[in-house]
Structures are given as C-alpha cells and as structure tokens.
A and B are shown apart, each in its own frame.
Chain A
C-alpha cells in the first residue's frame, strides 16, 4: 500500500507520557482513502491516544513519519500543518467545546481555517451570513437548532456531543475521526449520527475512523475493524470477516499473549 493511497498513515509511532507510562512502542497504523474504520478495545487500551498521537497532538511522540493523504506532517511549517489539519474533522471523546461560547459559535469555529481572516469566525456574531446559515443548518441536522444561542456549558452531555459533531462537519472534512461519537447519545440519536457519518462518507468520498464500544455499530458502519489492546493493534480485519462474538474477544482476558 503506497502512502498516497492512505488517508492517514503513521510509521513506527512511539509515545511515552510524562509520568513514564510507555503507551506505544513503534506501532504502525494506516487507513485507506475512502475506508470506514472502527476502532475497538477496552477502556484505557489506548484508542483515543492513538488517534490524537497520529495527528501529532503530543509534542513528545516520536515516529518515522506521519502522512495525511500522502503529505508528510513532520518537518513542515506551522502554516502548512494547519492547512493539512483542516481536512480532519475530529470529534473528541470529551467533546472539547468552548463552554462559555454558544452552540452556534462553537459550530462556526469549525470554519476557522477555511475562512480568512479568521477573526470573523471567532464568534458567530462576527461571522459572514453564509457561514452562520451553514452552521445553523448543521445544528438542525443534529437536532439542536433551537439551542443555537445556549452556551455549551448549558447543554446536556448528548447535546454537547452533537454540537461537537456539527463543529467537525463544519470543517467540510475529508477525514472524519470520531472518538466514541455516540457514546452519550440515546440509541435513536446514535443511529442517526452513524447514518449521517455514513452518508457523508458515501456522498463526499470522505474517510471515517470511529471508536466505538458498540460492536454492532462497528460491524454495521465500518469496512474494517481495528482492535487495540495495551497500546498495540491486536486485531485488524475486514468488518464482515468476524462475528460480533469473535470481536468480543478483544475485550476478553488479557492473559492470552
């Protein structure tokens, strides 16, 4: 597989936390363009850290290379790096909204690299009309149009998650990385969001990487499943190759290696 065919590729990634915990030791990770990948694994296995580290969010991480759609992400200027990152819509496990900003402002932030000068996307009140409309549209799609002017701190967990999803979509991402995007959603909303992601991938040739503890979601909405355990990629298979029961083994006892 050539680096150019990959949406995201990381070679020989190592990461040691400040407290001395060595979570990754030279692991490789890549996702093809247009692929839908589910990442599964127990709590604390390293799923979130893997995704954040492969976008270079840990200054202390080391690797032999990181590529986004074939473009290297190391040893490049800050400006170039920001341009690359713009293509990635990241839905963080902890939502990471600006608590004192309104839902609408948080969604408008998604246009921060797309729109110049970015001063106009620091707050929805300054944003150009078409961006405000686009953001409202996305809020409507995640069912929160009536909460546009509520502060993020006033939203429930599931509502925050939906705002975070709208913000990621506002980037018009080519690659969506969603860390447990439906973990705090009710089952109906969860299905809706997964459908939304699926349509996005199908219609806009996007790539999707999502973390989920819901194995039926993994099987249904992914083409490929990666299992993470103890900072290693323990399982890598096509989504129809394994039954849910077999996948559940990644969650099993840790003493079989």
Chain B
C-alpha cells in the first residue's frame, strides 16, 4: 500500500523568502504612514466630544435632506440602469463563448477593465466637467463604474453556461446572436439579475460619496454640514444614508434569495 505523504512539507526556501519579504513590507507600511497607537488613543476623548456634539439630532433641514436622499437614490438607479444597458451588449464581444474574435474580446475587456480601475470619484470629476454639476454627472459616473463591474461579471456568467445547448443552437444554424439570446441569456438570467442587484447596492453606496465632488445627491449636504461644524445635522445625514444603504441591501438580498432559490 502506498503510504500517505508527510503532513508537513519540508522547508522550502522560495516560500520562506516570500514570507520574509511580505513581513518586511507590512512593517515598512506601518512605519511609512507614521502609525502610532498613542495618537489614536489620544484621539479617544475627541471622538466622545464629537459624538456629544452630534446630539440632539437637528431635524430642521429634514425635508430638504430627504429630497437629497431621494435624488441620491434615483441617481443610483439611473446609473445602474445605464450600466446594465451598456454591459449587456458588451457581453456579446467580451465573453469567450460569444465573441466574434479573440482580438475584439481583448479590446472590449480592456475597456471594461479601464472602467473598473478608474475610481468612481475620478469619473465623477470628469463628468462634472463634461456635463456640469448635478446628479446627471453622478449617474454617468455610476454608469462607468457599473460597466466595469457588470461587464466583467456578466461575461463570466456567460462563459460559465453549459456549452451543450449553445452547441445545439449553433449546429442547427443559429447565429452568435441567436445563441446569446435563446440560450445564454435565459440560462444566465439568475446570475445576471443577482450581479445587477449587487451593482445597485454598490451604486447606492457610491452615490453618497459622489456628492462630495458636486455630482449631486446627499453627499454635498454632509460635506457642508461638517465644514460648518453642524454636527447635529451631519449626524442626521449619516443616519439617513445608513438607512438608505441598509434598506437597499435588505431588499436586494431578499430578491436575490428568491431568484437563486426559485429554481
């Protein structure tokens, strides 16, 4: 009988070197940013003071804030919708099983990667310059961000589908579009929907921050409140944002469970 191998592998130099370099990097990192526990502990009282200043909440501006929050939410919806609308056709070129040519796939995937690697805040700055201050710039920034996310995940979902039914439609003379629409789309629909819901959650969180650079929504209210030391208002804004993000996540989780469990 063949005996099982030793539980622990022998000492391996490359692995050891890797661990040493990794450790050195971590130590350098903490030194490099002057990380110092004392400063953090010292800041403790300031945090308590800040929390004290936040109370009682100031509800004076509530109607205006609710409106901003609503705009933030709408911005996220529009951005995600645009992102889905652009990503779905991109799958026809970016997914290995649907692309007409590997070069086309490479170029489209590079574009999707670009959308993803440029941070949403930068997209927002660009669109504020292009279309001016306001929620449209925010929606467009979210669109770019969603393309980066959904373009990748939609394509992967498409590539994961069983090749058999795709081959069947090809063998009966179906075109690439026929394969995509009659086989891949219905088969990958649960994955697509779940990815789109994730994008929506991501967009709601992002849309809060985008306001900081003037791309519409409640973010700018938060910045103004903090800059003017109106912590009672700032606290309310944070609570509002928190409840929006949590409710969107809750709804989205329920829907996702339903879709995935529904088969």
Contacts and interface: CB of A to CB of B under 8 A. Distances in A.
Interface of A: 52, 55, 57, 78, 81-86, 88-90, 92, 94-101, 105, 109-110, 112-113, 118-119, 121-123, 153, 164, 167-168, 171
Contact of A118 (B164, B170, B178, B189): B178
Contacts of B172: 85-86, 88-90, 109-110, 112-113, 167-168, 171
Contacts of A119: 181
Contacts of B183: 98
Given A82-B174, A95-B164, 11 more contacts: A81-B173, A83-B173, A85-B171, A90-B171, A92-B167, A92-B168, A96-B165, A98-B183, A105-B182, A118-B178, A123-B182
B186 interface: yes
B155 to A, nearest CB: 19
Contacts of A100: 186-187, 189, 263
Interface in B83-134: none
Given A57-B170, A86-B172, A99 B181 contact: no
Nearest to B183: A98
A117 to B, nearest CB: 10
Contacts of B263: 100, 153
Contact of B175 (A55, A78, A84): A78
Contacts of B187: 98-100
A130 B190 CA distance: 31
Nearest to A119: B181
A35 to B, nearest CB: 20
A94 B187 CA distance: 17
Interface string B242-263: 0000000000000000000001
A122 B164 contact: no
B178 A122 contact: yes
B165 A112 contact: no
20 contacts: A82-B173, A82-B175, A85-B170, A86-B172, A92-B164, A92-B168, A96-B164, A96-B165, A98-B165, A99-B187, A100-B189, A101-B186, A109-B182, A112-B173, A112-B182, A113-B174, A119-B181, A121-B182, A122-B178, A122-B182
A101 B182 CA distance: 9
A119 B187 CA distance: 17
A85 B183 CA distance: 18
B213 interface: no
A86 B183 CA distance: 17
Contacts of A121: 182
A94 B173 contact: no
Q: Which of B173, B177, B263 has most A Cβ within 10 Å?
A: B173
Contacts of B173: 81-86, 112-113
A97 B165 contact: yes
Contacts of B171: 52, 55, 57, 85, 88, 90, 92
Nearest to A84: B173
Interface string B155-199: 000000010110111111111011001110011010000000000
B185 to A, nearest CB: 8
Contacts of B167: 52, 57, 92, 96
A77 to B, nearest CB: 12
A95 to B, nearest CB: 8
**List of 7 A-B pairs having minimum Cβ-Cβ separation, nearest first:** A113-B173, A96-B168, A85-B173, A86-B173, A96-B164, A82-B173, A122-B182
Contacts of A57: 167, 170-171
Nearest to A90: B171
Contacts of A89: 172
A171 B170 CA distance: 13
B168 A112 contact: no
Contacts of A122: 178, 181-182
A154 to B, nearest CB: 9
A234 B178 CA distance: 38
A82 B170 CA distance: 8
Nearest to A89: B172
A98 B174 contact: no
Contacts of A167: 168, 172
A55 to B, nearest CB: 6
Given A98-B182, A100-B189, A123-B182, A112 B169 contact: yes
Contacts of B189: 100
A192 to B, nearest CB: 23
Q: Which of A78, A109, A121, A123 has most B Cβ within 10 Å?
A: A109
Contacts of B181: 119, 122
Contacts of B170: 57, 85
Q: Which of B172, B178, B182 has most A Cβ within 10 Å?
A: B172
A49 to B, nearest CB: 12
